[in-house]
């Protein structure tokens, strides 16, 4: 028996209206879950979110670095924030980003992605703030 056309139209309209609201609420929920784990020697704030255990010694997490001062990095113009999805091997201590977003501020003060990378050989090293060891320790201590 075919669905009534009016019901189908109402259903489609509800999906069109509610889907963006669900996405926005998930994004807000994810941003509220950031856990500050410390600061670098330069005063940059290091935070993590959404830590998941993949296997016994493998983790994945979202990482955020809020630079105290706009920071000139090898990837481009001065950045105020770095965010990354990172795989951690807790046996070797290696942190490998799968995607990295570098943020600047626009003229209105809003964060804007000014560079995206799928490979970052300097991730967490001194040139980016020296936060790799702090991240690995914090992420690998979760989910044990």
Tens digit of each residue's pLDDT (9 = 90 or more) over 92-118 = 989 999 999 989 888 788 888 888 888
Rounded Cα distance, 98 and 106, in Å? 26
Question: Residue 87 pairs with which residues in a beta bridge?
Answer: 60, 96
pTM of the model: 0.71
Tens digit of each residue's pLDDT (9 = 90 or more) over 6-34 = 777 766 765 555 554 444 344 444 445 99
């Amino acid at each position: 028996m075919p669905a009534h056309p009016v019901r189908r139209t109402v259903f489609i309209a509800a999906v069109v209206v509610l889907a963006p609201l669900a996405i926005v609420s998930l994004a807000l929920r994810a941003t509220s879950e950031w856990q500050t784990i410390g600061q670098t020697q330069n005063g940059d704030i290091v935070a993590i979110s959404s830590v998941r255990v993949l296997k016994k010694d493998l983790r994945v997490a979202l990482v955020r670095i809020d630079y105290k001062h706009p920071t000139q990095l090898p990837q481009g113009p001065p950045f105020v924030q770095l965010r990354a999805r990172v795989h951690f091997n807790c046996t070797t201590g290696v942190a490998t980003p799968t995607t990295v977003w570098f943020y600047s501020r626009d003229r209105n003060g809003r964060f804007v992605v000014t560079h995206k990378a799928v490979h970052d050989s300097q991730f967490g090293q001194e040139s980016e703030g020296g936060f790799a060891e702090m991240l690995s320790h914090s992420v690998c201590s979760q989910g044990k």
